[in-house]
Amino acid sequence: MVRHYLVLAVKVLLRRKFFTFISLFGISFTLLVLTVVAAFFDHAFGPGQEEPRQARTLYVERTLMYGPHSTSGSSGGFRLFDRYARDLPGLERLSLHENTHTVHTYLDGKKISSALKRTDDEYWRILEFRFVEGTSFGTADVAEARFVAVINMATRDRIFGGRPALGQTLEADGQRFRVIGVVENVSSLRTVPYADIWVPYTTAKTDAFKREITGGCDAMALAKDKASMAAIHEEFNSRLLRVELPDPKDYQALVAPFETRLASFARDMPLADRKDPESQVWRFVGLLTLLGLLFVLVPAVNLVNINISRIMERASEIGVRKAFGAPARTLVGQFLVENILLTVIGGAVGFVLSIFVLQAITDSGLFTYARFTINLRVFGWGMAFAVLFGLISGVYPAWRMSRLNPVQALKGGSR
């Protein structure tokens, strides 16, 4: 039966090539845009090579202080995390690292700019980089403030001409570091693992940062299991109530929750209630879902109209089949198969086009070291969009078909 439906569907679609082309264009373009957007979000927030334990990892990338007349936002401070986050319940590992900042290296009169990040040794135990040379720095390197560095392949190419860099010395931020490891490039959209050069935080030119409550430092917490994530979040929030703020006359509250990267991103979006971060991720996901539905709805409505026109053109055929006893569910099933086939073909075209678009974006260099691909997660989202599109555009016309009066249909009517 399904095979018969498919053969008939192909013949029907080939009968009116122009309408079929318009339908395929709308479907493929819609799924192209949605797939590209899904690939961007998966690239930025999905599990990646460097963040394989993201399902049980929490971050603090932004803190906000509130007062009756003032609001101040920045990254956290080393003292804040060192004093209040070290022994959180359910915590397996805690990493403190600086924000990435630009430093310069001068080579043969040429200035080379790089993104440098100062980290602790736990940073390398929570994240997993692909090392092409050497290894990361460890506890002793941090404790003794050794001037060692891990660099990425792009930095090796820029400074050492692509030659092996292990044991070589480079200058960055006015300091000289010995290279002990080289890793593959990490996309700038993965803000936590991203950098060109990584060095121990203890090599900073001053230790003033160790006394700061806010500014210059991010925290990354690896929970023992997913169930422990809520305990880490809640306990740290309760400890923030005891934090001595820099200027208690201007600021009375500090918001710095341990949260997922998606939740942190959602809290920074316009119109977000940053004082109450708990629900921001759901609001953000809801907003994205609503925008996605609206984006799907417009071409779906156009496809509905085209499908209804196609049905009305086949009114006589439908009338004959109903007059000979064809049940409504058979006619509905046939039309849904036609619409699903059309959606699958349009979706396949959209997927192929999205591969070329993502490759073009990758080659453009708009996002440093980013490589956009379609993996199984993105493919799954694309299939979900395709099914949703097929349902929205096919159910109502199929219902209209089932409601056609046989006598009116035989006369070519639509009632």
Bridge partners of 131? 183
One-character DSSP codes across 287-308: HHHHHHHHHHHHHHHHHHHHHH
Q: Which residue has the higher pLDDT, 255 or 408?
A: 255
Give the separation between CA 48 and CA 184, rounded to whole angstroms: 13
> What is the three-class DSSP state of 159?
helix
Give the separation between CA 155 and CA 183, rounded to whole angstroms: 10
Residues 6+ apart with CB under 8 A from 213: 76, 77, 79, 80, 243, 244, 245, 246, 254
Return the pLDDT at 164.
Answer: 95
What percent of the chain is predicted at pLDDT more than 70?
A: 76
Q: pLDDT for 22-48, tens place per residue?
A: 777 877 888 888 889 889 888 988 888
**H or E, element range at 223:** strand 217-223
How do beta strands 57-60 and 217-223 pair? antiparallel
Alpha helices in 2-119 (DSSP H): 2-15, 17-45, 78-84
Per-residue tokens: 399: 């219902």
Q: pLDDT for 48-67, tens place per residue?
A: 889 989 889 999 988 888 88
Return the pLDDT at 312.
Answer: 66
Average pLDDT over residues 282-305: 71
Does the pLDDT at position 146 exceed 70? yes
The dihedrals phi and psi of 242, each to the nearest 5 degrees, come to -100, 0
Report residue 87's pLDDT band, with 50, 70 and 90 as the boundaries.
very high
Q: What is the distance in angstroms between the CA of the first residue and the CA of the last residue of the chain?
A: 28
Q: Which residue has the higher pLDDT, 384 or 101?
A: 101
**Nearest alpha-carbon partner for 92 in 204, 179, 220:** 220
Give the separation between CA 120 and CA 129, rounded to whole angstroms: 15
Give per-residue burial for 202-227: e unless 16+ CB within 10 Å, then b.
Answer: bbbeeeebeebbbbbbbbbbbbeeee
Average pLDDT over residues 236-244: 91
Q: What is the dihedral of CA 296, 299, 304, 306, to 10 degrees?
A: -160
Per-residue tokens: 336: 């849904």
Average pLDDT over residues 173-201: 96
Full-model pTM = 0.81
